[in-house]
Structure 1
Amino acid sequence: MVSAAAVASALYVPATAHANTALPPGGHATAGAAEVRKVARFAGFDAGPEPSWYDGWRRLSGRLVADVDGVAYGLAGVRVFVEFSTNGTDWTRVTSQTTSADGTFDMTTVGTEDGYWRAQYPGNNEYTPAVSGSDYVDVKYRTSIQYYNASPEPVKKGAYITVKGLLYRYMPAGKPGPGANIHIYFRPKGSSTWTKMAITKTATNGWFNKKFKASQDGTWLARYWGSSTYVGSNQPADYVDVR
């Protein structure tokens, strides 16, 4: 039988075997101090133009600031990323730029789809991450009126003037634009006021023409105003002298 003294002897551990956990005189335990980062945010973000052309330039601009003691300062010299999403949920980085001295950025890139744009700052040891609000840009195909002419020039008073041209739609290659409404305007010589004279449709080959009786000198202008799919056209004009 093992005696109680033997058990006590076996369980005895010398004091020197224990780690010294006592604090030094006047000492105290210190937890790791958490660093507080300054709050970064986007004071503005814009994607445009709106609507934009297919395969055209997008301008992406804004300003990144940091709030310090209630005052917003431009956050300079940090990289800002611009992201794109077709559904507002899944984002892809498209381009980036380092902010200027006042925290602004101004980038350009080419776009081909309708969708959302936003700016994103990943943050660092001093500033928190930030994401701007999103800006939706509608993409449309460009249009152009070509070979525009109002003739004959000059024309006798009371005779007829023919206004004609060809509407092109770029989708993305140039193709004639059939069945489109073309608005014809007239501005008399010496006037600053345009008057709508008629609306005519383009034929299947994209051409349009409309006759008007000549009554006074002036400028004839044609314009396609666009649709949900196409951007409005240029506005070619032609002056006709009436004699």
Structure 2
Amino acid sequence: MRKRVSAAVATGALALTGLAVPAATAAPAAEEIKLSNIKVNGGKDVLIGTGNKKFTITFDASHSANIQADPTIVGWRALNDLLPNEFGRDHCKVVSDTKSSCTATFNVNPQNYDIENSEAGSWKTEVYIVSTDYESTLDKDNIKSFKVLRAAKLTANASPEPIKKGKTLTITGALTRANWDTYKYGGYTSQPVKLQFQKKGTTTWSTVKTIKSDGRGNLKTTVKAERDGSFRYVFAGTSTTPAVNSSADAVDVR
């Protein structure tokens, strides 16, 4: 279970104690620890399939006395949803007298860590940092939100090849995504997928039509063969699954 000690609780207790102290003797506010260049997975969504997925949470921390080398950095979604830190502790390297560069490494595998399909979506980053002079503390529930998504695959195959001009071309494929409950890829059903065409010798893709994946995630549609080029399927993604394109399949029209 995810348990935190809130800085607000400690601060509140000190505030109550401070009621009995004259304002003139109140201690000055502690210097703020400042964070910058915060990135999760290099700024990209974290896509988890059925095997290992390694990613990092990085940031710079500044303070006149610098910060301790072992802050707590956690990826979390809800009370019981935590992403494991691979090394058990987080490390910050000194880059100047007042600045450190911090990196926490995570290695997630649905087969050896209890992450379920229902946990795909938006996650948060909690940090707890103390300055080297113990005068300042940073305790935040979220310094950066990020997405943890179920990795997806998309295929496309045009046939027959080669084909005579004007004949019917069939493009099949499949849209699948990682199932964190079964540790396998399964069909992503009833999802809109675009069929796109690229004329040979060009770099531009144009949408031919939009179809939906069937009850098993399969795709199938037909078009008239008119010119040489390539076909592909394109999926825009959802709140739990990333966008993905199939490989292009070239067609020789004779």
Question: TM-score, normalized by length of structure 2?
Answer: 0.67
Moved more, 134-143 or 191-200: 134-143
Equivalent residue for 1:137? 146
Structure 2 unaligned regions, length at least 5? 1-26, 109-114
Decide which of 153, 164, 170 is 1:156's aligned counterpart. Answer: 164
Equivalent residue for 1:29? none
State the SS of the aligned residue for 1:139.
strand
**What displacement does 1:110 show?**
3.6
**What displacement does 1:164 show?**
0.7
Distance, in Å, in 1 between the alignment partners of 2:36 and 2:177 is 38
Where do 4+ consecutive residues of structure 1 move more than 3 Å?
A: 36-40, 48-51, 54-58, 90-95, 110-114
1:231 aligned to 2:222? no
Seen in structure 2, the aligned counterparts of structure 1 residues 127 and 63 have a Cα distance that, compared at 3 Å, is farther
Code of the aligned partner of 1:53? L
Moved more, 77-86 or 216-225: 77-86
**What displacement does 1:52 show?**
2.6
1:200 aligned to 2:208? no
Code of the aligned partner of 2:130? P
Seen in structure 2, the aligned counterparts of structure 1 residues 37 and 224 have a Cα distance that, compared at 3 Å, is closer
**What displacement does 1:126 show?**
6.0
* Count of paired positions: 201
1:108 aligned to 2:105? yes
Question: TM-score, normalized by length of structure 1?
Answer: 0.70
Q: Is the 8 A contact 2:175 2:213 kept in 1?
A: yes
The percentage of counterpart residues that share the same residue type is: 19
Distance, in Å, in 2 between the alignment partners of 1:170 and 1:228 is 14
Equivalent residue for 1:47? 40
**What displacement does 1:183 show?**
0.8
Q: Is the 8 A contact 1:149 1:163 kept in 2?
A: yes
Seen in structure 2, the aligned counterparts of structure 1 residues 44 and 156 have a Cα distance that, compared at 3 Å, is same
Equivalent residue for 1:217? 228
1:123 aligned to 2:131? yes
Seen in structure 2, the aligned counterparts of structure 1 residues 93 and 150 have a Cα distance that, compared at 3 Å, is closer
Decide which of 194, 200, 204 is 1:189's aligned counterpart. Answer: 200
**What displacement does 1:169 show?**
1.7
State the SS of the aligned residue for 1:239.
strand
Alignment RMSD: 3.1
Code of the aligned partner of 1:202? S
Code of the aligned partner of 2:147? D
Structure 1 unaligned regions, length at least 5? 1-33, 69-74
Moved more, 110-119 or 150-159: 110-119
State the SS of the aligned residue for 2:71.
strand
Code of the aligned partner of 2:189? P
Distance, in Å, in 2 between the alignment partners of 1:118 and 1:63 is 15
1:38-83: per-residue Cα shift (whole Å, max 9, x none)? 6533234232455432464442010011247xxxxxx477223212
Decide which of 68, 72, 75 is 1:81's aligned counterpart. Answer: 72
Distance, in Å, in 1 between the alignment partners of 2:94 and 2:171 is 51
Equivalent residue for 2:93? 99
Task: Work out which of the two has the higher radius of gyration on C-alpha atoms and give 1 or 2.
Answer: 1
State the SS of the aligned residue for 1:79.
coil
**What displacement does 1:99 show?**
1.9
Seen in structure 2, the aligned counterparts of structure 1 residues 51 and 77 have a Cα distance that, compared at 3 Å, is same
Distance, in Å, in 1 between the alignment partners of 2:214 and 2:139 is 49
Code of the aligned partner of 1:214? A
